[in-house]
Structure 1
Amino acid sequence: MPESSRTRMTAGERGAQVLEAAVSAFAETGYAATRTDEIARRAGVSQPYVIRLFGSKQRLFLAAVGQVCDRIEEVFTEAAANAGSAEPLDALSQAYDQFLAERNLLQVLLHAFAAAGDPDIGPVIRDRYGRIYRLIRELTGAPIADARRFLSTGMLLTVMAALRVTGPEAIAADWADEMLTELYEHGM
């Protein structure tokens, strides 16, 4: 393609591309095992450029976690706004299926929990998880016990998605089918 017909990406667009590559890479291999040169390769940029944009792998990981948590908050907020006559917590339960379809989100979240022992990562993920909890309570008016049950069930579904026993490419597991059937019959 001739140089004159190519469109150059803005720094913001390139940063978003790197962040998307980072979410994908961190979802697959976690914080410790993911290398910035792999993220750079996926984004089609140089490794020094990744560091120039984000400063360090840790800051890039935190940006990826932030993006994932922002997406979770966005989906829950939209679900509550569009709940109509449905109970708000039921609407959020229905929206959880979006997270199961966006597998990378849940994988990054699990890796963030695993990295919470890091003194720089732990406070951020604890704060973001707390924000999600408070948002659920605010959007739904749910009592603490119902919000806790919702989050507990969400974590169960997240782990089941990580195990690949639920979702579009589910691997058959009788125990998972039994749990999911009961879960969906009685609501999240």
Structure 2
Amino acid sequence: MSQPYVVRLFGSKHDLFAAALARICDAIVASFEQVAPGPDAARDLGDVYVRLLGDRDKLRVLMHGFVAGADPTFGLQARRTLVRAFEIFKELTGEDDEAARNFVASGMLINVLLAAEAPEHADEHGVGHLLVCAVGADAAAELITDAA
């Protein structure tokens, strides 16, 4: 895509990225909001999140937005998304702050591992073990197989 085309459609590359980040964050929140409340909500939220992680390009945009938090637009979007994920977890599961924090923190660890291409390098010292700890043995095996 040429720069003049980006400028014509979005005004700037910054605005293009802001639109992409907002779309991805909105999709994550909307997906979480579709989960039914109750005793299976924590598992179902985790399943939704694993499905969302299937698109590595979206994951990379999300991670870039989170680390580019010094930009007021990106930082605001990142914070809102993390807060909303925290709130949704509590609302749907009835769990406390610690459980919600663990859900969000685990999600961020998984994001970082996938952005760092951990499944593709699971044979490096400690990488495979950390991946198993983050997502569980079955999901790690699937990620590693998909990466091969």
Structure 1 pair 51–122 and aligned structure 2 pair: CA distance change class (3 A): same
Query: Root-mean-square deviation (CA), in Å?
Result: 2.3
- Deviation at residue 86 of structure 1 after TM alignment: 5.4
Alignment deviations for residues 49-103 of structure 1 (CA, whole Å, 9 cap, x no partner):
321221222221111111111121133233x23x8x7520111112222132111
Which structure has the larger Rg over C-alpha atoms?
1
1:157 paired with 2:110, answer yes
Aligned position for 1:48: 4
Q: How does 1:38-187 map to 2 (within 5 A)?
A: 40=1, 46-78=2-34, 80-81=35-36, 87-166=40-119, 170-173=120-123, 174-183=125-134, 184=136
- Deviation at residue 128 of structure 1 after TM alignment: 2.9
- Deviation at residue 133 of structure 1 after TM alignment: 2.3
Aligned position for 1:3: none
SS of the residue aligned with 1:101? coil
Counterpart CA distance in 1 for 2:7 and 2:89 is: 35
Structure 1 segments, 4+ long, off by >4 Å, are none
Amino acid at match of 2:91: E
* Paired residues, number: 135
Gaps of 5+ in 2: 138-148
Gaps of 5+ in 1: 1-39, 41-45
Asked if the contact 2:21–2:65 (Cα under 8 Å) also holds between the matched residues in 1, the reply is yes
TM-score, structure 1 normalization: 0.62
TM-score, structure 2 normalization: 0.77
Counterpart CA distance in 1 for 2:88 and 2:12 is: 30
